[in-house]
Amino acid sequence: MSKAPKSFLKSVFELVVTVAVAVGLALVIQAFIVKPYRIPSGSMIPTLAIGQRVLADRLNTDPSLGDVVVFHPPHGADPNSATCGSGSQGAGHSQACDKPTVTESSQTFIKRVVGLPGDRISIVNGHVIRNGVQEKDSYIEPCGPGGSCDFPQPIVVPPGHYFMMGDNRGESDDSRFWGPVPQKWIIGVAFFTYWPPDRIGTL
């Protein structure tokens, strides 16, 4: 008569252990391997829409040119008027910001890598000129002349830093205004979009 209760308790115990292990693995995976992110703004249109969700590979913090990256920007991205670590910034200047502020923001951004360490970067009509060659940018939302679209005076991306820009070139708050991003502030490379269902696929 006692076998049934013991069998039931054993099943409950096994279920609890299984759930605990599954939750633990999920937390470890999210903390150290793969983490989901929701796109909060239109800065990556047409590649990523507002509300779209992506997965980032947290083991990859050494991105390649063209990768879509999740990262913490410099603290200079926090004010309403972006702050550049070298004093130059934003629209009205002939060059993009070439140096970030020394402190890291708690915000999480997602942008595309358009400049690698040591690259010479200028921007004309929203197009990146990298080491004298215009990027192949069929993925961008076009940007007209003037304002945030033109920084014709070249800058050099510092060692260990990456220059980030949104694909929606006229509507993106990015490295043009607050500078390149140190590698240590990169969270991971986005590699897959899983929501909404009609946009499931790799990046």
Q: Distance between CA atoms of 36 and 59, rounded to whole angstroms?
A: 14
Q: Distance between CA atoms of 179 and 104, rounded to whole angstroms?
A: 12
Q: Distance between CA atoms of 6 and 99, rounded to whole angstroms?
A: 66
Q: Distance between CA atoms of 77 and 180, rounded to whole angstroms?
A: 11
Q: Which residues are catalytic?
A: 43, 111
Residue 147 is classified by DSSP as G
In sequence order, the 6+-apart residues with CB closer than 8 A to the CB of 193 are: 48, 52, 53, 54, 55, 199, 200, 201, 202, 203
- Main-chain dihedrals φ then ψ at residue 194, nearest 5 degrees: -120, 0
Residue entry with tokens 């239109």: 42
- Quick check: 172 and 165 in contact, CB under 8 A? yes
